[in-house]
Amino acid sequence: MRAVIYARYSTDLQSEASIEDQVRLCMARIEREGWRLVETYADRATSGASTLRPGYQRMLRDAQAGRFNVVIAEALDRLSRDQEHVAALHKQLGFAGVRLITLTEGEINELHVGLKGTMNALFLKDLAAKTRRGLEGRVRSGKSGGGICYGYDVVRAVDAQGNPVRGDRTIDAVEAAVVVRIFEAYRTGRSPRQIARMLNDEGIPGPGGRPWGDTTIRGNTLRGTGVLHNELYVGRLVWNRQRFIKDPATGRRVARLNPPETWVVQEVPELRIVDDALWTAVQEKLTGVRESPRVAKARASEFWKHRRPQTLLTGLVHCGCCGGPMATQGQDYLGCSTARRQGTCTNRKLVRRGAIETVILEGLRERLMRPDMVAAFAEAFVEETNRHHKKAEVVTRATARELAEVERKLDGLVDAIAGGLRSSSLQRSLDELEARKAVLEERIRETAAPRPYLHPNLAELYRSKVAALTDLLASPEDGAEAQELVRSLIERIDVRPEGKGWEVGLIGAIAEMIKLATNTEAFVREPLRSSVKVVAGVGFEPTTFRL
């Protein structure tokens, strides 16, 4: 029986040794059962309310691939505290033919999923209520409700009993001066974007040491975020302005505003940085901008509810100068968002999206998988695969020899038992040899792998498929599916100004290209890539490709 262990602890405040303790206890159970440990999965300082955990997701993928027969964990809440996630996990493992056993509850069945899942969900709800109660008490005493904002330092102290005192803050004189500069600059007519560029040009680090951005300064009026809306700078601590709800589809937290009557407001004059006159002037100007006809019209349209449709290049294009994302600017242009919002990049040119799409499709069809590139790849790939196969064959031969010896001994024991010989030691030897035989047979099955086959006309097959996809992109019925297929071939696009034109660098995944061309899963296990660059003129006619 092939077994795996899953272990998790929740926060950085817990000891990392918890993982090792869980693994040790689970390993003892595996040894008692006589099973074979094939993998250990662990997630450190990760909440059990979400399944977006690397170890957990890897365990599910391996279960679907049939790599093991049983999962061992200390308790069901180590795998998940969410009732829905527990039920889904039970179904997924059951479909894969994998048993789920915990040291606390035993083998998990439908009864455990219902009762234990409910108990864990109630535990999370109760824990959240107690945490909120504690935070509210801390805020009402003038202390921080969690986190630290720009302009302040955390005060680290202990009480008479040696326990840490949490929530105290003090003004950071250097950062406080920057806060005042931001307020003064905005009052005198500078925009948040201009202020961000000014601070970045002077090399002044922003919150968390990151560059300044316009949204960091402007923030959101209703949520009270951003430097210009932070009431703590006038000695007023506001808590419970918003709450966070977890999106069940993505597992991410989404902010929701609370009614103003539920806010907790506490005066903390010792933390004031900005005087009332400056604060009032800035707030009046922010209100004027918010109530201007242009902003009011945009807000009335509720533009934030309307997601822009994903284009062929959404999320794939990056600035070749700084590596930042290229974002939509205007109706059909892309520009470096880092240059626009932070001013830390010198690439201020705009490029037409349609022109880039034309070059990318040309690169995909004709350049990224040229016959000579495919031939070189195929030769190197087969050579590397053969090397791995030779190594595996050595292991397989040694395992086969041991298996033959085990079978010979088993035959001798069976003959002895058939001849009337009986003893407890004989039966124990028989059981041990049977277990060893099963392990060796499983090892041979895992080592065996088919040799890859790459079609000799792979480049032509791929080119014809991409040409067909290009035609489908214009189809209203099949355009969305074709767009996703084309996007799967592209890992990254780098765009850099080159004279009067642009240099476009395209990186694609060879495994996806082979899969598209052959209609089969690619044998590529490592993230092998192919890249090509094109220098395009003003009209974006490809002139030369740089490999």
- When pLDDT is averaged across residues 307-316 and rounded to a whole number, the result is 71
Q: Which residue has the higher pLDDT, 540 or 522?
A: 522
pLDDT per residue over 86-102, tens digit each? 888 888 998 889 999 99
Identify whether residues 287 and 320 lie together within a single domain. Answer: no
Same domain, 482 and 519: yes
Per-residue pLDDT tens for 317-354? 899 888 889 888 877 888 998 888 888 888 888 888 88
pLDDT for the residue numbered 545: 33
Question: Does residue 459 sit in the same domain as residue 438?
Answer: no
Are residue 300 and residue 256 in the same domain, yes or no?
yes
Residue 145 placed within a domain: no
Same domain, 468 and 544: yes
In this structure, of 112-126, 281-295, 343-357, 434-448, the range with the lowest mean pLDDT score is 112-126
- Predicted confidence at residue 494, as pLDDT, reads 87
Query: Greatest CA span in the chain, whole angstroms?
Result: 105
Same domain? 181 vs 276:
yes
Q: What is the CATH number of the domain that holds 278?
A: 3.90.1750.20
Residue 519 pLDDT > 60, yes or no?
no
Indicate whether 184 and 105 sit together in one domain: no
Asked whether residue 12 falls in the same domain as residue 106, the answer is yes
Domain with residue 24: its CATH number is 3.40.50.1390
User: Does residue 153 fall inside a structural domain?
Assistant: no
> What does the pLDDT read at residue 535?
46
Structure tokens at 494: 């780098």
pLDDT at 52: 67
pLDDT at 280 over 90: yes
**Is 132 a domain residue?**
no
User: pLDDT tens digits for 382-400?
Assistant: 666 666 667 667 777 888 8
* Of the residues 447, 471, 502, the one at which a domain ends: 447
Q: Measuring CA to CA, which residue among 131, 174, 171, 165 is closest to residue 149?
A: 171
Boundary (domain end) residue, out of 400, 420, 447: 447
pLDDT in tens, 243-267: 877 666 555 677 888 888 888 888 9
Is residue 159 one of the residues assigned to a domain?
A: no
Specify the pLDDT at position 541. Answer: 39
More confident site: 91 or 160: 91
Alpha-carbon distance 237 to 122, whole Å? 31
Q: Which residue has the higher pLDDT, 22 or 375?
A: 22
Predicted local confidence at residue 523, as pLDDT: 46
Give 412-421 pLDDT, tens digit per residue. 877 777 777 6
Domain-located, residue 374: no
- In the structure encoding, which two tokens stand for residue 160, read together? 């008479």
Same domain, 359 and 471: yes
Is 359 within 8 Å of 536 (Cβ atoms)? yes
Q: Of the segments 96-110, 131-145, 154-168, which one has the largest average pLDDT value?
A: 96-110
Does 297 share its domain with 319?
no
Enclosing domain of residue 483: 313-368+455-547
pLDDT-derived band at 537 (thresholds 50, 70, 90) equals very low
pLDDT band at 536 (very low <50, low <70, confident <90, very high): very low
pLDDT at 370: 62
pLDDT of residue 178: 95
Question: Is residue 499 helix, strand or coil?
Answer: coil
Question: Rounded to two decimals, what is the model's pTM?
Answer: 0.54
Q: Do residue 173 and residue 78 come from a single domain?
A: no
- Tell me, yes or no, whether 432 lies in a domain: yes
pLDDT exceeds 50 at position 28? yes
Q: Is 157 domain-assigned?
A: no
In a domain, 231, yes or no: yes
Residue, of 458 and 181, whose pLDDT is higher = 181
* pLDDT for the residue numbered 477: 67
Q: CA separation (Å) from 458 to 54, 369, 370, 378, 518?
A: 35, 9, 10, 10, 8
Do 206 and 301 have their domain in common? Answer: yes
- Which of 305, 321, 342 finishes a domain? 305
Mean per-residue pLDDT, 16-26: 81
Give the range among 148-157, 209-218, 520-529 with minimum mean pLDDT: 520-529
Number of structural domains in the chain: 4
The residue with tokens 């705009």 is 350
